[in-house]
């Protein structure tokens, strides 16, 4: 059990290290996004670096986020949540598995929470078979 806790702590430390390398103002934007995701995700969700970017895991990959040169991205680990909330995502650049946003137009916290909850429901349904 202690080894698993250490593992979770080390994965969280990797996310902290990623965020520390992100220049401002993108770092603050991602830290707010991270807090919103954490608030919406189940307590059992863990953080990790996946594909070199911060992610949350819950019964599989839940969501991820990252900073790039000219934008930030939110990855709901699939297209279903993007399709489900397409109307609310108007004005953002979206692709099959990515929502891009600029620092001057971050994703609203309420929308992020809806997206996370949809991804939780998806992962729980998958886990049931």
What's the confidence (pLDDT) of residue 6?
Answer: 55
**Cβ neighbours of 23 (radius 10 Å):** 8
**Distance linking the first and last C-alpha atoms of the chain:** 27
What's the confidence (pLDDT) of residue 79?
Answer: 92
Domain ranges of the chain: 2-128
pLDDT at 2 over 60: no
Least confident of 2-6, 9-13, 23-27, 39-43: 2-6
What's the confidence (pLDDT) of residue 3?
Answer: 44
What's the number of CA atoms in the CB half-sphere (13 Å) around residue 109? 10
> Who contacts 127 (Cβ-Cβ below 8 Å, separation ≥6)?
59, 60
Give the pLDDT band of residue 5 (cuts 50, 70, 90).
low
Domain 2-128 fold: 3.90.1150
Asked whether the beta carbons of 33 and 27 are under 8 A apart, the reply is no
């Amino acid at each position: 059990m202690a080894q698993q806790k250490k593992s979770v702590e080390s994965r969280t430390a990797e996310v902290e290290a990623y965020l520390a390398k992100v220049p401002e103002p993108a770092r603050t934007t991602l830290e707010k996004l991270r807090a919103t995701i954490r608030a919406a995700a189940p307590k059992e969700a863990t953080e990790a670096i996946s594909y070199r970017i911060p992610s949350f895991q819950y019964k599989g990959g839940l969501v991820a986020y990252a900073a790039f040169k000219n934008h930030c991205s939110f990855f709901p680990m699939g297209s279903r949540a993007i399709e489900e909330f397409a109307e609310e995502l108007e004005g953002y650049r979206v692709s099959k598995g990515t929502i891009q946003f600029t620092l001057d137009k971050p994703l609203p916290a309420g929308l992020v929470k809806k997206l996370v909850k949809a991804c939780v429901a998806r992962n729980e349904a998958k886990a049931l078979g």
